[in-house]
Structure 1
């Protein structure tokens, strides 16, 4: 006789275990079916998502505790969003294959997938296929040069990524057999390098002719607007009950508030124009070689503050093990300011940079901008958050969302600006407001870009004109946003997620513990950190014990005053 099942020993996976299994299964599938543009991969992973979504219906949702219901909704939203994204990627890739002629991409994909299955290999036959592929590649290249193959630059960009991926997989394919299989080496050692070169020539030609950039150009900003449908799918997954246009309106309203504060701070310094005050702040930077020590001291200042005022629990090991590195010049083109998380990566000019770039980097990483960035990146921001995420319900890290991870870091910008106990000179305020205005601009330019309403250059101009960015740092920010492989809501998630947490803090904590639940500020912050990753509306339901429904929709309108 088997064990008796009871409500405390259900005959189904716990939701936590289910999430771990699904993510491990998906990771195995993606590692095995590794050619992203392969129809075989699309079909297999699509079937996996559909099967997992269907099987969720068998989970007795009402029997789950609150944490289990949260996990259910997290997994359901994740699977649905990933499935929709997979289908849309397949649709976009279907536009690329005709441009590339079809034959050689399909043939090379099959060769790569055959190696993954460890099929018997016929070196002589494969050599013949490679020769045919070379002929097709050259035919496509000539058609592009002659103007016969015209295409939208977005499709051309995707084509270069498809070809680069094939090249990378072919390197591994060739290395797998080379020298281990003498006959393979005999037949393939001549045609393989030629195919590799032909693929690179085709990539270079597409860049030059179809996109209009030099093959080695790493500065030109090229992106792919994702469109309204992808934005709406992301909003549903992130549990944001607003339209893109309403979010853009929030960006404008918050910017107006920031500008009024900036004017007041500038006036206290004797400036009539806040941009003149911003220029004054930008001139206050440390000499080359001194930035790491500045950042070190600013990290200690922020850590000491939150501990002294009992705002959040900082594990001693978390504060003890902060690692510091320097940002390379090439990385600074994407990340003009320093980054944080497990470590702090300091962005500052090197001796190899041109004089003008050195000055822009130093001005962009001045004393006051840096002070406002340190607590965002380290403690109480990303570093503290990531420390907790690795230790408390770590399986939820798979559901990373900018409204949570970036929202938490921006939230502290709001908290500390509002706190009288956080020392702020007018210059400090201007540094904090610069970043807050930057977050407003991010909402506007990122959403408008993906809606097709702004070009990359217009995004740069917005950051320069609205926020006061150095042109080089504005270019870096837009390059990161557009070319950094982020989702359509990532840049908007900083401020919007922070505003969600700020609204929830008022609701639960209030001023001096006067919120509806009279929840302490430290308890509120610790509860958020221990919950790991999830949309803020879901965290709200978790801590308030609100009723969660299997197919419930987002409804929390966290921002007041929208038209």
Structure 2
């Protein structure tokens, strides 16, 4: 006798066989495996394979018995659903951006196919391969000539040209790996392929350089040039949806501008206390010139870490495990890296940005002023404990599978949130100079919203972003250039810089609902936040408030009144 099992029953059994946590861990590993197997990011084959995988995983979620899950599992379901949808939207956006670069890449498909055939262990025929390389070389020479002549055939935007140049450089690396796989093992391969490969390797290098020089207008040797790749309003709306932020890009800018005005007003109050009336920029100059002597910054940072740990423990604000408190390390940042990260960084360790003897006098003074005592005092809280170091410690030990749901609103928002708390907490002793230092960072985060979102909307150029930081925030020009380079060079998500202030505002609003309104102990609030691991803040809110959830959940929390 065959027992009938309803589709619902099958779904329940499937859910029992693989928990949502198991599914997330498997999906994460599968996705990592696929991306490693097909590493050429602009490959159509890679995009298609990822699209099929993500779509299949997303469709399979629809069969699961959502209403039978406990709240934590419901949140995990929504997190993985949001993650899959975001990855799919990202693929489509990348495809649209790559399409704009195709006039500069008529040879790319052939070379990508060669690399991927190697990964798939498809037999390689040296004579045919040599012919493909020869034809690709001819196509490349044609592109080089058109670029030099500024032909209409290669008339693309600077952004598309910069993207094409990066793809060419990446393709050159992958093709080199392909060549090394075969050379020396197959005598006929070297006989046929070695020479055309050498020619095409050089042409790839030349083409990338020519595109940057002529179409992107980056002079040779100017590796510090800032270009960036704006994603447009539609791209920003998709990113906001993925971050569960129910605001438009224009509203996000408005939040940044309102917070900016608040900071300026508070700057003037501190400036008056220092005897500079409303001229807060003069007060800022005094603060920036209050730095320790060369060689003493490491001692200052160490003492500030101890001060921060003592404060949160003495006032029972958050749990600080002994290993997290005792095992942090300090390293120095190279002059080259300081071009991108002009201030010190934190997390697993703290990386101190400070002048070296190899820098010229101007660079030394900018670094000293940019890492003064009062800026550093706020930064240590942000970077170490209770900020990123404690975050990462807890992330590794509580629901670590959620780290795949990485978001700057949770990561950076948490650290800036503590700067909010310290500003309000009279137990944290603050001189007017300390207040200027704290306010400068807050003003800086407001400016990050304004310039990064406007850049992606196409309203501000990189130079205008730098000028905003120098003229309206009081940055040293070198640190402003580093900040903009870091923000726009593509290593960070488009909303990363906005995530600091917006995430902090979200967490502060949630604290108001839980601690101030409902009486949750402050330490419990902070511990629960950290132990929940990474996710959009609205999902943290849903967990803490045990809110009703459905598979069709849409973000609606207006955490900041406009």
TM-score by length of 2: 0.96
Deviations 1:380-418 (A, max 9, x none): 000100111111111100000111000000000001111
Q: 1:132 aligns to what?
A: 135
Q: 1:485 aligns to what?
A: 491
Tell me how far 1:111 sits from its aligned partner.
0.6
1:238-257 residue pairs with structure 2 within 5 A? 238-257=243-262
CA–CA distance in structure 2, aligned partners of residues 179 and 382 of structure 1: 48
CA contact (8 A) 2:410 2:536 kept: yes
CA–CA distance in structure 2, aligned partners of residues 261 and 136 of structure 1: 60
1:90 equivalenced with 2:95 (yes/no): yes
Q: Secondary structure at the match of 1:558?
A: coil
Q: 1:358 aligns to what?
A: 364
Q: 1:45 aligns to what?
A: 50
Which deviates more, 377-386 or 455-464? 455-464
CA contact (8 A) 1:338 1:344 kept: yes
**383, 407, 410: which one pairs with 1:401?**
407
CA contact (8 A) 1:268 1:426 kept: yes
Q: Secondary structure at the match of 1:469?
A: coil
Tell me how far 1:95 sits from its aligned partner.
1.9
Deviations 1:100-154 (A, max 9, x none): 3x1x211111110111011222222212222222222111101111121322111
Tell me how far 1:467 sits from its aligned partner.
1.1
CA–CA distance in structure 2, aligned partners of residues 285 and 166 of structure 1: 46
Structure 1 runs of 4+ aligned residues shifted over 4 Å read 4-10
CA contact (8 A) 2:410 2:535 kept: yes
Q: Secondary structure at the match of 2:448?
A: helix
Q: Secondary structure at the match of 1:189?
A: helix
Tell me how far 1:9 sits from its aligned partner.
9.4
Tell me how far 1:313 sits from its aligned partner.
0.5
Q: 1:161 aligns to what?
A: 166
1:519 equivalenced with 2:520 (yes/no): yes
**332, 335, 344: which one pairs with 2:338?**
332
CA contact (8 A) 1:12 1:59 kept: no
1:196 equivalenced with 2:196 (yes/no): no
- Structure 2 vs 1, CA of residues 118 and 251 (structure 1 numbering), >3 Å: closer, same or farther? same
Tell me how far 1:50 sits from its aligned partner.
1.1
CA contact (8 A) 2:15 2:64 kept: no
CA contact (8 A) 1:339 1:345 kept: yes
Question: Considering only aligned residues, what root-mean-square deviation do their CA atoms show, in Å?
Answer: 1.8
**30, 49, 57: which one pairs with 2:35?**
30
1:209 equivalenced with 2:210 (yes/no): no
**114, 119, 122: which one pairs with 2:122?**
119
CA–CA distance in structure 2, aligned partners of residues 454 and 395 of structure 1: 38
1:368 equivalenced with 2:369 (yes/no): no
Q: Secondary structure at the match of 1:324?
A: strand
- Structure 1 unaligned regions, length at least 5: none
- Structure 2 vs 1, CA of residues 234 and 9 (structure 1 numbering), >3 Å: closer, same or farther? closer
Q: Secondary structure at the match of 2:319?
A: coil
CA–CA distance in structure 2, aligned partners of residues 210 and 266 of structure 1: 47
- Structure 2 unaligned regions, length at least 5: 4-8
Q: 1:545 aligns to what?
A: 546
1:13 equivalenced with 2:13 (yes/no): no
1:44-443 residue pairs with structure 2 within 5 A? 44-100=49-105, 102=106, 104-148=107-151, 149-272=154-277, 273-443=279-449
Q: 2:6 aligns to what?
A: none
Q: Secondary structure at the match of 1:312?
A: coil
CA contact (8 A) 1:204 1:214 kept: no
Tell me how far 1:484 sits from its aligned partner.
3.9
Deviations 1:214-270 (A, max 9, x none): 233222110111111111111111111111111111111111111111111111111
CA–CA distance in structure 2, aligned partners of residues 106 and 259 of structure 1: 53
CA contact (8 A) 1:61 1:550 kept: yes
CA–CA distance in structure 1, aligned partners of residues 42 and 535 of structure 2: 30
Q: Secondary structure at the match of 1:190?
A: helix
Q: 1:468 aligns to what?
A: 474
Tell me how far 1:98 sits from its aligned partner.
2.2
CA contact (8 A) 2:445 2:498 kept: yes
Which deviates more, 74-83 or 117-126? 117-126
Deviations 1:513-561 (A, max 9, x none): xx22x2100000000000000111110110111111111211111113x
Q: 1:498 aligns to what?
A: 504
Tell me how far 1:186 sits from its aligned partner.
3.0
